Each structure stands twice: as structure tokens, then as C-alpha cells.
Amino acid sequence: MTIKIPVVLIFLVCLIALPVKAYVRLDFQTVDMLTYRCYNEQKWDSVILVGKKALHQDIDYYYLRVRMGIAYFEKHEYFPASKHLKKARQFNSGDPFVADYLCRAFSYTNRNEEANLLKASMPVEEKDTVRTKPGFLEQVHIETGYTLSSDRAPTNLPTLMGKDSIYGEQDLYGNNFYGSFGLKLRASKRLSFSLAYNYLNFSKTKYIQYGQAEAHRDTIIKNNSTWNYYYSFPWKIHDTLFKYNVRQNEAYLAATVALPWGIKVIPAVHWIHVGYTMTNPGFRTDSISDTLYYSVSDRVYHRFKYPSGVYSFIEKDTTFNNYVAALRISKDLGRFSLVFSGSWSNLNGKTQEQAGLSLIYYPLGNLNFYGATTVTGFFQGKDQRLLLSQVIGAKLTPWLWGEVNFYYGDFTNANIFNGAVVYNNSDMIAYRGGATLVFVISKHIQLSLIYQYFRKESQQIYYIKTQDPVTHGINEIQQTQNNPYNTNTIIGGITWKL
């Protein structure tokens, strides 16, 4: 034995040290002997090294896949471990020892659907060796949060109308409350459902500023036979505001269908009911009559007429429903997952389509470090946008997980997470970023703390005067301007895994 071990080690070193172009031909007997010895001696890196070279030379059999799968498992690289263990079961599906390792590899990477499928496919006498079959109710999740907005009051109120001082309007989002309740239900070995109810309450204020010429009686001068009235028409500025709340009730339903070959298909639908008080400004021109002079001789007040603008503000309760239909298809590729997503929605009187591609990667072969990069095309009539997002997560301690994310692009009227989160407010989103902490309290309970930062822009409406070059008449043209502001959101949640 003391002579053979160095021979094995020398052989492995030679495999590593050979140039890339060099070709060492292995045979079944050599591969089987080396992987068996290294497996028994728990030299997991050597098992993997020899196994990779054997597979590259089309040497593939049951025990090779078992040894490679367990080697990766013992190195806590559960994604490649499951790949090789699944291949081993294609050679021999009746080994409960392999099924146990594979089921745990699925569970340690949150692939519960695959674990449940494996459990359901096993004979009754072997099921006790793997994780317990879940019941109908798998998970309950509750979360709530509050958003602080810097847009609660306009910073540009003195110039809300613009330089022409005709009319200005700004509809500002203030603070808001958020609450959510969700369930995950297991219908069969291949089908599960995710249900959620969300409630949002936005505090909003509509600021309006307008100017108009208003008659002012300056003086009365008495002559021999008349009393003459003299007026001026100064331009006066008026400010008004209307406070109201936008209440939003949402229902979300998604079905996860686990197909063979590591494919998942997740159709989803999201219903959004919005209610608020809408304030519609109106303007009309009235003809006003006032005293021009008083005649002493006939004791009659002689009057004159002049036009005057009158603003009115009508409040009306408004409700409407919006819908989002989404589809997500994912394929496991070892340390990677490829995700195709698409959606259709009818938010705020417009129709939107989205198509996205995501790459999820696990460099360490487990959930201790992961990332997700997503590119999405957004189409709303002639409005076409490219939306980008990046997520990076890591296991910080045995009981704490952390994640940071950044979303770039205008996500107004867009959705993320397969339609679960919808950005249907009227303000433009420049970008958003955030962080999440997940505290593992026990096997069944997790706490989460989420922070989100948004950079948004609210729309200001005002008018400018222009002169027609042909008629030389004065036209009033509506203009818009976006004013930036920030929001900061804190969300706390608890999850029960049954």
C-alpha cells in the first residue's frame, strides 16, 4: 500500500501538469480503480478530476457518476452533485442510497419540486430514507412595510406655473403603507400554487396654481353730472391643494409545473383594483357686468361688460381594474439556470408587453454565493425600453443570508418576479436599489428585513405663451417637466415552512 498510493498521486499530478494539447488515453479499468481508491480515501478533488477526464473520453457508467456526485456533495457543491446523481439514477433508479443524497442535494438548493418528484417516484419501502413528503399547505408568508417619500410637498411651488404664470399642476406621491399575505400549496407531485393578497395605501396631494386678471375698483371720481368708476385688472396668483389616498387591492396566483429534465413552467396572473378620488380642473370664461358710471341727472347706473376666467375643481370617486398575465420558463444547467420570461398587461389605460432573459449562477455550486443578471425588453406602443437588473446574494453566517440588487431603467408600468410586483404608479422610475437580510430562526421559521431605494420623477404641468407667426395670435401650449425625488422603504416579513 505504501508503494501504490504515491503511484496514484503521481498519476493524478501528471494529469494536471500535462499541457492542454497533450492527450492521455484512459481506460475503464484505470478510471474505476482510481476513482474507487480516491472515493474510499475521501479525496474528493481527485475523484472529480479523474471523473471529468473520463467523461471527456466517453467513459461513463453508474459508479463513476455516484462517486462524482457524492464527491461534489461532500464538498457542499450541491448543484453539480445533483447533476451526477441524476445521471446515476438513469443507470440504476433502484438505489435508495443515491436517492437519499440526491433528495438532500435538491433540498439544500431550494429545489423542493424536484425533491417531491423524487420522493413520489420511489417505492414505499424506500421513502423513509429521504425527506418527508409535504402536505397540502407548504408555506405561509406575511410581510408589511412603510415608504417615506421626499415628494410630500413641492419644492417648486413659487414657480409651479412656470414663467408665464398661467396654470401649473403637480400630483405628488407621499408616504405609503404596504401589507401582504401569501400561501404556497402543493396540489400534486408536479403541481404547486402560490397565492398572495397585497394591500397598498398611497398618500397623495394634488397641487394646483393658477393666475388670472381680476377686476379691482381703484377709485370713484365725482363730476358735475356723473360719478365715474375707475378699475385696474392686476394679475393675481392662487394656490390650492387636494389631499387624497390611492388604495390598491391586489390578488396574485401562480402555478408551478415541474417537468422532466429540470424544466419549470410558471404561468401567473395578477389582478389589481385601484380606487381614489380624482380632481378634474375646469376653466370657463364668463361675462362680468360692473358699474362704469352713475348719472346724477337720471339717477341710473350705467354698466359695462368684460370677460373673466373662472376655475372649477370637481372631485369624483374613481375605480378601475388592471391585469397582468405572465409566464416564466426555467431550465437547470448545473451551476447555472436559464430563465425566459414574458408578460402582457393593461396598466393605466395602456397595453404593455415584456420579454426577458435571465441567467442565474452559483459559482460555488451551492447557495452560499449566487447572482442573477436579467435583460428585459419593454414595449408600450411606441415607448420601447431596455430594463436591466443585477442581484447578488451570499450566506453571511450559518443563520444569516444577505442580498443586494440594482434595477436600471424606467420600470414605470413594468413588472418583475413573473408579474408578482407591478410598478403601476404614474411617476417615472429612474432606477432602484436595495438589500435584503434573511434570518434563519429554525428549520420552519425565517425572518426577513428588506430595504428599497427608488429614484423617481414626478410630472409638472404648466403652460407657455407662443405667437403664431402667420396670424400673430397668442397660443397657450401645455408643457411638462419631470422633477426628481427619492423614496426609502423598509419591509419586514416572516415565513413559516411547514
What are the structural domains, with CATH classification, of the chain? 4-129 (1.25.40.10), 137-497 (2.40.160.40)
Whether the predicted pLDDT of 437 surpasses 80? yes
Q: Tell me the pLDDT tens digit for each residue of 367-416.
A: 999 999 999 999 999 999 999 999 999 999 999 999 999 999 999 999 99
What whole-number distance in Å separates Cα of residue 294 and Cα of residue 306? 18
Burial class of 408 by CB neighbour count within 10 A (0 to 12, 13 to 18, 19+): middle
Q: Tell me the pLDDT tens digit for each residue of 109-122.
A: 988 888 888 877 76
Whether the predicted pLDDT of 41 surpasses 70? yes
Q: What is the pLDDT of residue 23?
A: 56
Grid coordinates given for 150: 421626499
Q: What is the pLDDT of residue 442?
A: 94
pLDDT band at 309 (very low <50, low <70, confident <90, very high): confident
Angle between helical axes of 4-17 and 44-56 (0-180°, round to 10): 60
Q: Tell me the pLDDT tens digit for each residue of 460-489.
A: 888 888 877 887 777 888 888 888 999 999
Q: What is the pLDDT of residue 124?
A: 55
Q: What is the pLDDT of residue 15?
A: 53
Q: Tell me the pLDDT tens digit for each residue of 56-68.
A: 999 999 999 999 9
Q: What is the pLDDT of residue 3?
A: 43
What whole-number distance in Å separates Cα of residue 86 and Cα of residue 95? 12
Grid coordinates given for 351: 397595453
Grid coordinates given for 355: 420579454
Q: What are phi and psi of 63, to 5 degrees?
A: -70, -30
Whether the predicted pLDDT of 129 surpasses 60? no
pLDDT band at 123 (very low <50, low <70, confident <90, very high): low
What whole-number distance in Å separates Cα of residue 484 and Cα of residue 161? 17
Look up the pTM and report it.
Answer: 0.83
Q: What is the CA radius of gyration of the chain?
A: 35
What's the whole-number mean pLDDT along residues 223-232?
88
Residues in contact with 332: Cβ distance below 8 Å, sequence separation at least 6, in sequence order = 79, 111, 262, 263
Q: Tell me the pLDDT tens digit for each residue of 173-207.
A: 999 999 999 999 989 888 999 999 999 999 999 99
Give a three-class secondary structure readout of the chain.
CCCHHHHHHHHHHHHHHCCCCCCCCCCHHHHHHHHHHHHHCCCHHHHHHHHHHHHHCCCCCHHHHHHHHHHHHHCCCHHHHHHHHHHHHHHCCCCHHHHHHHHHHHHHCCCHHHHHHHHHHCCHHHHHHCCCCCCCEEEEEEEEEEEEECCCCCCCHHHCCCCCCCEEEEEEEEEEEEEEEEEEEECCCCEEEEEEEEEEEEEEEEEEEEEEECCEEEEEEECCCEEEEEEECCEEEEEEEEEEEEEEEEEEEEEEEEECCCEEEEEEEEEEEEEEEEEEEEEEEEEEEEEEEEECCCCEEEEEEEEEEEEEEEEEEEEEEEEEEEEEEEEEECCEEEEEEEEEECCCCCCEEEEEEEEEECCCCCCCEEEEEEEEEEEECCEEEEEEEEEEEEEEECCEEEEEEEEECCCCCCEECCCCEECCCCCEEEEEEEEEEEEECCCCEEEEEEEEEEEEEEEEEEEEEEECCCCCCEEEEEEEEEEEEEEEEEEEEEEEEC
